[in-house]
Amino acid sequence: MRQPVRISPSILSADFARLGEEVRAVDRAGADYIHVDVMDGHYVPNITIGPMVVKALRPHTKKPLDVHLMIAPVDAYIPAFAEAGADIITVHPESGPHLHRSIQLIRQLGKKPGVSLNPGTPVEAVAEVLGEVDMVLVMSVNPGFGGQSFIASQLDKIGALRRRIDALGRKVDLSVDGGITPETAPRAIEAGADVLVAGTATFKGGEPAYAGNIRLLRGG
Ligand code: DX5
Ligand code: ZN
């Protein structure tokens, strides 16, 4: 089921020395979710933050914390992110031996499970769990860094997932993550995405620009 377009700023592009203020600023500026990129230097070639930072950010916003786990093996850390206050917890099929078990664990902890596909990961890798998740996150860059260019071949994948989600007849967010700008956002939306993750495009220009940046991504 297609839902209104929502914007999930990735705090990867925020000022890490002022993360709480940055989260409050994008919340005020109209963010629908707050996207938190967790990287381990193993599954992806970068290291960011862990559950302690998610816990520290939790009091700064009532918006859902959309926590994107790029760590492997992932299962042992899921409870800590749930306890820290994550609302949506997204995992990659490559990040654990049993994708379905990871999703079951997130659900058992009372959180919304998501599943993410890298640019090289086919739709079939998540086909068996589509009925179990609340979000499908299509990576339109290879995971690890902000500020990369949108990989246009992922638009077809978004379209294929849109059709599968519509056939399910239940609400599943179809999110796109990486290289989202006011130019690429309409293409992702047209292909079927209804959540746009944006780091660089949200945080550029500093706090006075955030509300305008988010409005532009939503379509003006
Ligand atoms: C990349 C992350 C993205 C990233 C997007 O691994 O998953 O969320 O922060 O950054 P931009 O919007 O700058 O491409
Ligand atoms: Zn992300």
pLDDT tens-place string over residues 69-116:
999 999 999 999 999 999 999 999 999 999 999 999 999 999 999 999
Mutation choice for ligand 1 from 90, 177, 203, CB with most ligand atoms inside 8 A:
177
Whether 166 sits among the annotated catalytic residues: the reply is: no
Residues of the chain with pLDDT under 70: none
Q: Which ligand is nearest to the CA of 204?
A: 1
pLDDT tens-place string over residues 179-191:
999 999 999 999 9
Look up the pTM and report it: 0.98
Whether 177 sits among the annotated catalytic residues: the reply is: yes
Q: CA separation (Å) from 118 to 13, 36, 44, 95, 126?
A: 20, 17, 11, 11, 11
Q: What is the pLDDT of residue 98?
A: 98
For 150-189, b/e burial (b = at least 16 CB within 10 A) is: bbeebbebbebbbebbeeeeeebbbbbbbbbbeebbebbb
Residue 79 token pair: 């409870």
Q: What is the pLDDT of residue 2?
A: 80
Q: What is the pLDDT of residue 142?
A: 98
- Please identify which of the residues 32, 37, 134, 194 carries the catalytic annotation: 37
Q: Domains along the chain?
A: 6-218 (3.20.20.70)
Q: What is the pLDDT of residue 85?
A: 99
Q: Give the pocket of ligand 1 (CB within 6 Å).
A: 10, 12-13, 35, 37, 68, 141, 143-144, 146-148, 177-180, 197-201
E strands, 64-134, in order: 65-70, 88-91, 112-117
- Please identify which of the residues 40, 66, 134, 177 carries the catalytic annotation: 177
Q: What is the pLDDT of residue 56?
A: 98
Report the phi/psi class of residue 22: left, alpha or beta, with left for phi > 0 and alpha for psi in -120 to 50: alpha
Separation between Cα atoms, residue 5 and residue 35, nearest integer Å = 15
Q: What is the pLDDT of residue 220?
A: 78
> Distance from the CA of 99 to the center of ligand 1, in angstroms?
23
- The neighbourhood of ligand 2, an ion, using CB within 5 A, equals 37, 68, 177
Residue 189 token pair: 């939306």
